[in-house]
Amino acid sequence: MDHLVSPSLLAADFGNLHKEISMVNNSQADWIHLDIMDGLFVPNISFGFPVIEYVRKTAKKPLDVHLMIVDPDRYLSRFRDAGAGILTVQYEACIHLHRTVSEIRDLGMKAGVALNPHTPVSLLKNILPFIDMVLIMTVNPGFGGQSFIMESYNKIAELRNMIDAGGFKVLIEVDGGIDTSNASRLVGAGVNVLVAGHSVFSSPDPADTIRRLKTPG
């Protein structure tokens, strides 16, 4: 499978959000990534259901929603109703992770689990059969524009081996410090989905940056 690109709207110009979404619609991007932050799980607040619903009305790509919030179980059906196609929860925020990802799937969405940089991938061993994607955070979550944590390559390699050895159909997504300088190495390491925010929306030509992320080399 060719890798996917999921531009993160966290870095978009919200004063021109319709224009930004239209650019993504007309680009080679595959998904639109939405980071939901509550100011508790991470030290930042992003946006909520009204923004997601607006994006859904305008977007022609699936919405790839990442919840960086405490107690995400309270809102799973609301995120489905708001337009999420892929819903990712933080491993560290879920007390009953199997129950959470099972409900996400029962609601008709793809289920993802995200790991903070300090969380080992070995903890996912018993949940891989029940999910569709793992999101490796390659920066500390909460803010865009951070530098890629190089240790992430070892985590990606370990996770790739776990998935392949078990024969699981689980995508590997990465988010944080992703740009055209490391996209090729990440894809070569086994990454399936590249999330890029700052490197796309701060580019002089965002659509061309997306194209380069889709065809790194």
**What does the pLDDT look like over 11-62, one tens digit per residue?**
999 999 999 999 999 999 999 999 999 999 988 889 999 999 999 999 999 9
Catalytic position from the list 38, 64, 175, 179: 175
Residue 104 in contact with residue 87, Cβ under 8 Å? Answer: yes
Catalytic position from the list 30, 35, 38, 132: 35
Name the nearest CA neighbour of 21 among 12, 50, 30, 87.
12
Residues in the chain, how many? 217
- Average of pLDDT values for 3-8? 98
Q: How far apart are CA 125 and CA 110, in angstroms?
A: 19
CA-only gyration radius of the chain, Å: 16
Q: At what angle do helices 17-25 and 49-58 cross, to 10 degrees?
A: 50
Ordered domains of the chain (ranges, CATH) = 4-214 (3.20.20.70)
State the pLDDT confidence band at 216, using cuts at 50, 70 and 90.
confident
Is pLDDT at 1 greater than 90 in this prediction? no
Q: Model pTM?
A: 0.96
Is pLDDT at 133 greater than 80 in this prediction? yes
Q: Can you read off the two tokens belonging to residue 102?
A: 């099972």
- Average of pLDDT values for 84-112? 98
179: annotated active-site residue: no
Is pLDDT at 143 greater than 70 in this prediction? no
205: annotated active-site residue: no
Q: Provide the mean pLDDT of the chain.
A: 95
